[in-house]
Amino acid sequence: MGGFKQFLLRGNVVDMAVGIVVGAAFGTVVASFVKDLLTPLIAAIVHAPDFSGIAFKLNGSKFLIGDFINSIISFVIIAAAVYFAVVLPINALVARMHRQPPADPTTKRCPECISEIPIQAKKCAFCTSAQPV
């Protein structure tokens, strides 16, 4: 039982549990955003409140194509909302935090012949002029 307790109290498990709870809450917010705001906006543009009425019957079976279309539209909108509202800003933040300063130069230009020479050189290998230190 001690090993199980240690497993549960490890940081990764707790982080994952918090991520799942926050993800579920965020999913509810995004689903509500799509259902309550974006879908009516699309309905206003397309002049159809929703596509759930589109269906056809084949041998007594009813195929609800409209519900499938609604689900696809909701998925695309949710995916776009998550991408633009979460993924892009997080990627930009991570990229900004991981910027490394430029590397120190290893070469310099000779003032006489403009050749690239090692930064520690005291004389130019090409024109043999003395280099300022």
Same domain, 92 and 109: no
For residue 3, give the DSSP letter: H
**Looking at the structure, do residues 89 and 125 belong to the same domain, yes or no?**
no
Domain encompassing residue 127 = 104-133
Same domain, 111 and 79: no
Each residue's pLDDT expressed in tens, for the chain with a length of 133 residues: 778 777 766 667 777 887 888 888 887 887 787 778 877 777 777 776 667 777 889 998 998 888 888 778 778 877 887 788 888 998 898 888 887 777 888 999 999 999 999 989 999 999 999 988 7
Residues 13 and 74 in one domain: yes
Q: Tell me if the pTM is above 0.85.
A: no
Q: CA 18, CA 12: separation in Å to the nearest integer? A: 10
Q: Rounded to whole angstroms, how far apart are CA atoms 71 and 108?
A: 61
Domain count, the chain: 2
Cα(121)–Cα(110) distance, integer angstroms: 10
Same domain, 91 and 29: yes
Q: 64 with 109, same domain?
A: no
User: Which amino acid would we find at residue 88?
Assistant: L
Provide the CATH number for the domain around residue 90. Answer: 1.10.1200.120
